[in-house]
Amino acid sequence: MTVKALSVASEVFPLVKTGGLADVAGALPAALKPHGVETVTLIPGYPAVMRELSRGEVVRTYTDVIGAPMRAIRGNARGIDVIALDAPALYARDGGPYADPAGRDWPDNWRRYAALGIAAADLARTQGFDIVHAHDWQGAMAPVYLRFSDGAKPKALVTIHNMAFPGRFEASIFPALKLPPAAYAIDGVEFYGGVGFLKGGLWAADAVTTVSPTYAEEILKPEFGMGFEGLIAARRKSVFGIVNGIDTAIWNPAADPALASIFDVETLELRAENRSAVETAFGLTGDGPIFCVVSRLTLQKGMDVLADVADALVETGGRLALLGSGDPALEAAFRTAALRHPGRIGVKIGYDEKLSHRMQGGADAILIPSRFEPCGLTQLCGLRYGCVPIAARTGGLADTIIDANAAALSAGVATGILFDGVATESLARAIRRAVEIFADAPAWRALQVQGMTADVSWSASAKAYAGLYARLIKG
């Protein structure tokens, strides 16, 4: 039997991407196919989506979805089966999916993503879907609208990619949501005196997943739960951790067109050419291990701690190539660090997909000192590309990296370096450990090979999602 799934996502690679959510929404449909799941992705009709849409067929027309006319157009966009929501008043704007070109959140984001939820609930019902799989706060109103309206109720699953984004708005928007008054309650969308989109979804969904088993445990604690810990505890039996994979066709060092030289475990020496390309791109000179960073520059990612450790990194003989953007103060801190250490620290502020592949294919290690990390994808790319991850022991990082302690090294299973507690001393120590192992070429090579042969694909996790869909549908 084929299961028909409607994936409700605010970004999907390669159409629109601001982070890992897009990668997951982009890769999961293909990974689910062998398990008998046919996925259609419901996505707002941003310009980048509407431009790519081909063979479009209007499947629903709405005259008024909380104030905006909207058409649901089913078609294909860059290989993805989509239903795009053509609603120019809501989505036809320059800038990012959530913010204007100056980086300010759109003031009507609540309307834009409530509309996504309303359309999702209607389309799930009218287009014969068996299950709605909603992602993060932007998709989370789908199960709420299913719950509070009449008609068939396909099962609904919400996946939390990052608990730090609750989609919380002033209570004054509630009447415009066109939900019954009863929905403004603990059993509904009320969240600390306002309207919580993620809250509503976590309450209304038949099941909740998050993107790693460790994060699923962590969010039961106040320091990770961001105010949701009580609700997560109440729903504990329906909360599952399923670790993300990466698209191993896109992230394939043996066939990656972004690389100066392709390579695999048998031809690891060919990586040297990519390493030179990283040196050139970041103006690095001399020698010593190249640590790289591909990240949003935020406190979540521990980038303030890394900025504090930059001098120590150089003192150990290491070099740093950093690609990222985010907090202006952190951007400035890294720019200054690069000025202090010409040839040893190179910094590119921005977003560059191609360069991120080159860095994974040429740097020796990738630093991920996140304070919390629901799953994290860059460590998975690093593993696959022989770029050894050095990461905080939290969330998905703890689940996907095997620390190079003495036992793991001698057993030949270590794939990276994990450290506890995101602070300057612990990160500096982890970097020193990496420099020591790097000096022992066979030991470092073993780390790389063990990482490259670890399974970072979607296969096991897609099976887990398909199994969960089946259980929910069966009831």
Residues that bind ligand ADP (CB under 6 A): 19-20, 23, 162, 294-296, 323-325, 351-353, 356, 375-378
Q: Indicate the DSSP class of residue 284.
A: -
Nearer to ligand ADP, 71 or 296 (CB): 296
Nearer to ligand ADP, 260 or 294 (CB): 294
What is the smallest separation between the CB atom of 360 and ligand ADP, expressed in angstroms? 8
What is the smallest separation between the CB atom of 212 and ligand ADP, expressed in angstroms? 10
Of the candidates 178, 210, 204, 208, the residue with the CA atom closest to the CA atom of residue 191: 204
Nearer to ligand ADP, 223 or 353 (CB): 353
What is the smallest separation between the CB atom of 188 and ligand ADP, expressed in angstroms? 28
Q: Is 256 helix (H, G, I), strand (E, B) or coil?
A: coil
What is the smallest separation between the CB atom of 298 and ligand ADP, expressed in angstroms? 8
Nearer to ligand ADP, 143 or 395 (CB): 395
What is the smallest separation between the CB atom of 358 and ligand ADP, expressed in angstroms? 11
**C-alpha–C-alpha distance, residues 190 and 456, integer Å:** 38
Nearer to ligand ADP, 121 or 294 (CB): 294
Nearer to ligand ADP, 325 or 426 (CB): 325
**C-alpha–C-alpha distance, residues 287 and 319, integer Å:** 8
Is the torsion defined by CA of 176, 177, 181, 186 positive or negative?
negative
Nearer to ligand ADP, 7 or 316 (CB): 7
Q: What are the DSSP calls for 372-385, one per residue?
A: --SS-SHHHHHHHT
What is the smallest separation between the CB atom of 166 and ligand ADP, expressed in angstroms? 15
What is the smallest separation between the CB atom of 381 and ligand ADP, expressed in angstroms? 6
Nearer to ligand ADP, 323 or 401 (CB): 323
What is the smallest separation between the CB atom of 260 and ligand ADP, expressed in angstroms? 18
To 10 degrees, what angle do helices 271-282 and 353-362 make? 130
Nearer to ligand ADP, 112 or 384 (CB): 384
The residues pairing with 292 across neighbouring beta strands, listed in sequence order, are 321, 366
Nearer to ligand ADP, 200 or 324 (CB): 324
Identify residue 460 by its one-letter amino acid code.
A
Q: Per this entry, what is the length of the chain?
A: 475
429 burial class (0-12, 13-18, 19+ CB within 10 angstroms)? middle
Phi then psi for 7, rounded to 5 degrees? -90, 125
Of the candidates 57, 82, 67, the residue with the CA atom closest to the CA atom of residue 115: 67
What is the smallest separation between the CB atom of 20 and ligand ADP, expressed in angstroms? 2
What is the smallest separation between the CB atom of 70 and ligand ADP, expressed in angstroms? 28
Cis peptide before 442 (omega within 30 of 0): no
In the sheet that 345-349 helps form, which strands lie side by side, from edge to edge?
345-349, 319-326, 290-297, 365-368, 388-392, 417-419
**C-alpha–C-alpha distance, residues 23 and 245, integer Å:** 9
What is the smallest separation between the CB atom of 300 and ligand ADP, expressed in angstroms? 7
Distance of alpha carbon 443 from the chain centroid: 31
**C-alpha–C-alpha distance, residues 120 and 145, integer Å:** 8
Nearer to ligand ADP, 39 or 212 (CB): 212
In this chain, which residue has its C-beta nearest to ligand ADP? 20
Q: Indicate the DSSP class of residue 174.
A: G
Element (H, E) at 349: strand 345-349
Six token digits for residue 68: 């905006």
Burial letters 169-187, b for 16+ CB under 10 A, else e: beeebbeebbbeeebbeee
What is the smallest separation between the CB atom of 392 and ligand ADP, expressed in angstroms? 13
What is the smallest separation between the CB atom of 243 and ligand ADP, expressed in angstroms? 12
Nearer to ligand ADP, 19 or 69 (CB): 19
**C-alpha–C-alpha distance, residues 131 and 112, integer Å:** 22
Q: Following CA atoms 324, 329, 333, 336 in sequence, which dihedral angle do they give, to the nearest 10 degrees?
A: 100
Of the candidates 203, 243, 244, 238, the residue with the CA atom closest to the CA atom of residue 471: 238
**C-alpha–C-alpha distance, residues 123 and 146, integer Å:** 10
Nearer to ligand ADP, 376 or 416 (CB): 376
